[in-house]
Chains A and B, each alone.
Chain A
Amino acid sequence: GENVEQHPSTLSVQEGDSAVIKCTYSDSASNYFPWYKQELGKRPQLIIDIRSNVGEKKDQRIAVTLNKTAKHFSLHITETQPEDSAVYFCAASLRGGSQGNLIFGKGTKLSVKP
């Protein structure tokens, strides 16, 4: 089955710097990769996703890149702000599968210092 590894587990940056979180997956058939942000005590919320027919996707200060050959994808946050502080989860899924289950990484706790 699919396995997703996420690094680093914690990340501390200064406000205004960039942050990069990386995930690798094991099943080459996986073709959908969402990223979730979870603020303390709240639900995970989708911030960006990418499908395997696309190599990069951007949404303002957030971008995701996908390397299908190497089976890894990354979240890039530019010009970080204190409100970016949260736990970020990556996930992988076989879109079109019978259940559509997401396999999650273990999360990265991002701290942005003012």
Chain B
Amino acid sequence: SQTIHQWPATLVQPVGSPLSLECTVEGTSNPNLYWYRQAAGRGLQLLFYSVGIGQISSEVPQNLSASRPQDRQFILSSKKLLLSDSGFYLCAWSPLTETQYFGPGTRLLVL
């Protein structure tokens, strides 16, 4: 069966510091991968999606970037965090145009 992992689970970072969040999927090949952000009490904002290694599409301009160095690895990064980057970051995978399955999420607090 398929499993999706995210780490770290929680993170507290100062403004201006770099960020790296990692997501990995097991038990499938060539999944579509997604990064979402959810502000407290709010909906799901799609940040990036990827249909293959090295293929990244951005939905919203921001100071975040994403990379997919391996088929089942998706990384979300920032060079300098802003206060507004705080939120719950969710990675999701999809077996090619089917439903999306979410990872456990990373709760990020920028101070």
Chain A residues close to B by CB (< 8 Å) = 32, 34, 36, 42-46, 49, 89, 93, 95-102, 104-107
Query: How far does the alpha carbon of A32 sit from the alpha carbon of B32 in the complex, in Å?
Result: 16
Contact present for B43 and A43 (CB under 8 Å): no
Q: Which residues of B contact A (CB under 8 A)?
A: 32, 34, 42-44, 46, 49, 51, 57, 90, 94, 96-105
What are 28 sample pairs from A and B whose C-beta atoms fall under 8 A apart?
A32-B99, A34-B99, A34-B100, A36-B102, A43-B103, A44-B44, A44-B102, A46-B99, A49-B99, A89-B43, A89-B44, A93-B97, A95-B97, A95-B98, A96-B97, A97-B97, A99-B32, A99-B49, A100-B96, A100-B100, A101-B34, A101-B46, A102-B100, A104-B44, A105-B43, A106-B42, A107-B42, A107-B43
Contact at B90–A44, with CB atoms within 8 Å? yes
Q: What is the predominant secondary structure among interface residues of chain A facing chain B?
A: loop
A47 → chain B closest CB, angstroms: 11
Select from chain B the residue with minimum beta-carbon distance to A34.
Answer: B99
Scoring B49, B90, B100, B104 by chain A CB atoms within 10 A of each residue's CB, the highest score goes to B100
In the complex, the 3 A-B pairs of residues with the closest C-beta atoms, listed nearest first: A100-B97, A43-B102, A106-B43
